[in-house]
Amino acid sequence: MDEKFRVSQKLGLMFKTDDDIPKNIKSWAISQLHEKSPVLGIKSVSRVGSTTTPSKVMPWPESLQPDLEERARRWRIQRAFMELSRKEKKSNSEIQRNNQENLFGRTDELKFSHRNVYGNDQVRIRFMSFWTNHFTMGNIHDNQNVIGHAMDEAILANLNNHFSEMLYKVTTHPAMLIYLDNIWSAGENSKKAKDCRNKVDCQAGLNDNLGRELLELHTVSPSANYTEDDIRNSAKVLAGWGTMLEETLKDMRKQGKTTDHWNFFKKYYAEPGNKTVMGKTISSGKGGLRQLTDFLANHEHTIKHISTKLCRHFISDSPKNSDINQIANTWRQSKGDLDKIHSKVIELAILSKEAKFQWPMTWIFQVIRLSGATYIHGWDQIYNWYDDAIMGNNEIFEELGQSFWVSRQPNGYSSKKEEWLSGEMFERRVRFASAIFRGGDTKHSTEKIMDRIGASNSTRNLVNSVGSSKENRFIALMCSPELMGLESA
Amino acid sequence: MHKFNLTRRDFLKTTGASLFLAGMPISGYTKDKPPGTISVILLEGGMDGLTAVPPFGDPDLVRMRKIITPENYLKLNSFFGLHPSFKALAGLFANNQASVVHATSIPYLKRSHFEGQNWMEGGGLSPFSEKSGWLGRSLELANIPGRALSLDMPLILRGHNENDNFFPSSIRNSSKLKTKLIDAISMAHAKESADVYSKVSNKSKSGITNIPRDPSSLAKYAGKVMSQDDGPLASVIRIKQFDTHARQGADIGKHADRLSIIDDVIGGYREGLGDAWDRSIILTMTEFGRTVAVNGTTGTEHGYGTAGILAGGVISKSRVISQWPGLAKSDQFERRDLMSTIDYWSVCAACIEKALGLDHDLIASRVFLKPKLPRVFDYIFS
């Protein structure tokens, strides 16, 4: 494959049919880290016969990207409706209407797809997805209303910042605090726990879920050999953080002297006194968490853990120690400056000629961009799309077996091919390639795509061996080892 | 605090269990065919054995976890009860076709899901030590060619080069798989994934159609194909979300919902297997149990000892197999968890011995890499 396409396969989402190909691929990839592309997408798709026409590519409307307060407000309406529906029966259409008006998961998931398909910031998007996977937040308790917000404002907004900042912003975001059960956690010596002690049916105490995963998954990993006490103390630092979205502004002001869902610390639930986590003394109060996340963010085990993960995602399934060490050194020298770290990843990924297997979601976006297919419906069609040829955006993710909006385990999706290579996953890629070709009204022919990307001889041989059927040739190309990221340069 | 009741249908939709089938003999394969079939239900997140099979005879149970202990349990004997979510299982118990092993666990002490889940599938000497899984190694040892069915390739079945997997797909408007096309792509992938593609090729010929994805239907489907002469000898169903850190519930609630999925799956197997039930064993396994004490958010934290559920026609007498360690603080593991007094690898080994007709010592050394693994076969199957 042509070097420029090889790099955009490994680090980006492939050049779209109308993209200019940059002259210097390395400087382009690094400059992508600062690319300020608005969220681009399409309002609608129309289909007549075999012609599929998207509306003009435009920035996403503001009204579909509400702020946190609006998302919380809709969440409260949704919950009140559910509460009511248990007392009095609601019709299906009422339930549906309520979901459509007040839940944001499907809207945000479509925005994510549009970003991947139409965005001019492909490398940036890939790093956003890496970190979104690292900080897994699943949909429980209608958390879907805020996951997309965390992605935009905690992760993407901090992509050019230090890791310590991203870590703190994600850890305190309601999407994470709800997903890992921290919102109800109270210190054992908190006022809340003490008040509860003499009451019937009152429960208050520590929940160590987030405290544990903060160490195990988000930072140092078990290689740091922390103890159960460290986990509990980490949970004690976290006790008091987070609100159910149900808190109204007035209630929040009363409890936490703040009206910000993202910056909400309930002193009433907090564990008094200093805590010690992995030898580090953390002071009491709201500021304690920042001390903890700053300590963890540049811990030697965090650096090794995440440097390895970055290598495995962007460079090779079995990364070389020298690559891991170079990223780790960049991390140490820059104190976790993500710009420098990401630039180093880009540099090493280009130098390495090793193949890198791509996630199902990355692959499907690359197929769509390379062929110029229209396979994702518009933002006006989130709840009224049904088409015999093109599935709804949410159905596509379901069939891919990968989505950031489903409830899943907090360790996220593996980057290794052995976790994904199976007959079933292969069959799905074959079927998706077929469906994209049949319904997507592709702009570039298989031959043109092969010429453009400089397909290898083995890929050309494969495509030629399946005969003259245009569909078969398209499937063979997109499912070739080269396009799946299984062929070394 | 919100209580959120999902309707049964919503619940199943979001539940998504996955099925893996393996050990499918080549057509006409009868030579030394193993005597039975084995099915493993993987419970991810840490099942609470004290809720599933409450030891109501232990006075500390109610004292320490009243709000999460079911009141309407079925008495299994004078000491242990069965959670009311287990309806199909209760029937099997009454017919001497199910048993429970209690205060047991794989020997994993560190309480990380990801290490624990890797170990319960890998079955080696420590988490991440094996690239293959214990069931895959067992099938290999029994010389059974086979394949697995599911969306991702589970570690538990790896190590068996004939494995394939299957999970019903429904990608609209895609063409029927064409054998010639698949064969061509398969050849191009000769280096690492040709095996995988050739399984897709087999499937393109076999004409498997849509199967509902809810756990009970998947189990029923698994049972049905396992009951056929050339059907698979092993299956794995994975159920997620046992990790109830908050608002765990008691008779009903989050953990109870999970337990009823186990019950649906066992019921599905019973129905699907038909006459083959008589040569089948099903066992659950989970990475760890949960803390004895209730935490501050009416849930439980990651623990150690738990319970294992066994069902199948090869069981001749229902019982609860346990060396009960007690629930008092001083009896707990690290003063917080139920102690494990039976190594669950021994239970797995007994089930392999029964289903695949392999010698215990061979299983102990070649599958679990522990030549001295105790044999508990007689406690379960005598």
Between A375 and B213, the more confident residue is: A375
Classify residue A372 as exposed, middle or buried by CB count within 10 Å of its CB (0-12, 13-18, 19+): middle
Classify the C-alpha dihedral A285-A288-A290-A293 as positive or negative.
negative
Query: Which residues are paired to B236 by β-bridges?
Result: B20, B40
Between A270 and B29, the more confident residue is: A270
Half-sphere exposure of A220 (CA within 13 A, CB side): 23
- The interface predicted TM-score of the complex, written ipTM, equals 0.80
Q: Residue A488's pLDDT is what?
A: 87
Distance from CA of B366 to the nearest CA of A (A): 23
What is the distance of C-alpha A320 from the center of its chain? 26
CA of A313: how far to CAs of A14, A130, A334, A410, in Å?
Answer: 16, 8, 21, 17
Quick check: B195 pLDDT over 80? no
What is the rounded average pLDDT of the residues A380-409?
89
Using alpha carbons, select from B233, B226, B273, B222 the residue that is nearest to residue B33. B233
| b/e sequence A319-338, b meaning 16+ C-beta within 10 Å | beeebbebbbebbeebebbb
Helix or strand run (H / E) with residue A291: helix A288-297
Half-sphere exposure of A203 (CA within 13 A, CB side): 22
Using alpha carbons, select from A308, A311, A298, A268 the residue that is nearest to residue A286. A268
Quick check: A119 pLDDT over 80? yes
Q: pLDDT-derived band of residue B178, with 50, 70 and 90 as boundaries?
A: confident
Helix or strand run (H / E) with residue B272: helix B254-273
Distance from CA of A351 to the nearest CA of B (A): 23
Quick check: B5 pLDDT over 60? no
CA of A140: how far to CAs of A399, B99, B246, in Å?
Answer: 20, 34, 12
CB contact under 8 A, B185 and A208: no
| b/e sequence B350-360, b meaning 16+ C-beta within 10 Å | bbbbbbbebeb
Q: Residue B27's pLDDT is what?
A: 46
Phi/psi for A335 (5° steps) reads: 55, 40
pLDDT (tens digit per residue) in B138-162? 988 887 754 444 434 577 876 544 4
Q: Residue B342's pLDDT is what?
A: 97
Phi/psi for A301 (5° steps) reads: -70, -30
Q: Confirm or reject contact between A55 and chain B (CB < 8 A).
A: no
pLDDT (tens digit per residue) in B103-138? 999 999 989 888 899 999 999 998 888 878 899 889
What are the chain A neighbours of B173 within 8 Å (beta carbons)?
A: 388-391, 434-435, 438-439
Interfacial A residues in 175-214 facing B (CB < 8 Å): 180-181, 184-186, 188, 193, 203-209, 212
What is the rounded average pLDDT of the residues A444-458?
97
What are B41's two structure tokens? 């239900």
Cβ count near A86 (within 10 Å): 11
Q: Residue A102's pLDDT is what?
A: 94
Which DSSP letter does residue A218 get? I
CB contact under 8 A, A430 and B200: yes
Q: Residue B14's pLDDT is what?
A: 39
Optimal mutation site among A422, A456, A469, A473, interface B, most CBs of chain B within 10 A: A422
3-state class (DSSP) for residue A41: strand
Using alpha carbons, select from A129, A141, A98, A164 the residue that is nearest to residue A242. A141
Cβ count near B38 (within 10 Å): 27
Q: Confirm or reject contact between A400 and chain B (CB < 8 A).
A: no
Interfacial A residues in 295-314 facing B (CB < 8 Å): none
Using alpha carbons, select from B147, B156, B151 the residue that is nearest to residue B168. B151
Interfacial A residues in 435-454 facing B (CB < 8 Å): 435, 438-439
Catalogue the E-assigned strands of A340-399: none
Quick check: B10 pLDDT over 60? no
- Quote the pTM value: 0.81
Which range, of A82-86, A271-275, A452-456, B38-42, averages the lowest pLDDT? Answer: A82-86
CB contact under 8 A, B193 and A480: no
Q: Residue B207's pLDDT is what?
A: 47
Nearest Cβ partner for A422 among B153, B185, B188: B153
Nearest Cβ partner for A465 among B114, B177, B184: B184
Between B296 and A62, the more confident residue is: A62
CB contact under 8 A, A462 and B188: yes
Q: pLDDT-derived band of residue B202, with 50, 70 and 90 as boundaries?
A: low
Optimal mutation site among A426, A437, A480, interface B, most CBs of chain B within 10 A: A426
Do B290 and B326 touch, CB atoms closer than 8 A? no
Nearest Cβ partner for B153 among A222, A421, A480: A421
pLDDT (tens digit per residue) in B237-296? 988 889 999 889 999 999 999 999 999 999 999 999 999 999 999 999 999 999 999 988
What are A163's two structure tokens? 């890791």
**DSSP characters for B57-90?**
TSHHHHHHHGGGS-SSPEESSSS-EE-TT-HHHH
CA of A278: how far to CAs of A134, A211, A327, B226, in Å?
Answer: 22, 13, 24, 51
Q: Give the number of A-B residue pairs with CB atoms closer than 8 Å.
A: 192
Distance from CA of B156 to the nearest CA of A (A): 12
Q: Residue B150's pLDDT is what?
A: 40
Which residues fall within 8 angstroms of residue A285, CB to CB, at 6 or more apart?
A267, A270
CA of B113: how far to CAs of A54, A296, A433, B20, B289, in Å?
Answer: 44, 21, 35, 21, 11
Q: Residue B197's pLDDT is what?
A: 62
What are A335's two structure tokens? 């104190």
What single letter denotes the amino acid at residue A484? M
Which DSSP letter does residue B20 get? E
Q: CA-based angle A188:A174:A290, to the nearest 5? A: 65
Q: Residue B255's pLDDT is what?
A: 94
Do A446 and A436 touch, CB atoms closer than 8 A? no
- Where do the domains of chain B lie, and which CATH numbers do they carry? 8-170+210-381 (3.40.720)
Quick check: B1 pLDDT over 50? no
**DSSP characters for A451-477?**
HHHT--HHHHHHHHHT-S-HHHHHHHH
Optimal mutation site among A183, A194, A251, A427, interface B, most CBs of chain B within 10 A: A427
Mean model confidence pLDDT for chain A:
93
Helix or strand run (H / E) with residue A281: strand A280-282
What are the chain A neighbours of B187 within 8 Å (beta carbons)?
A: 462
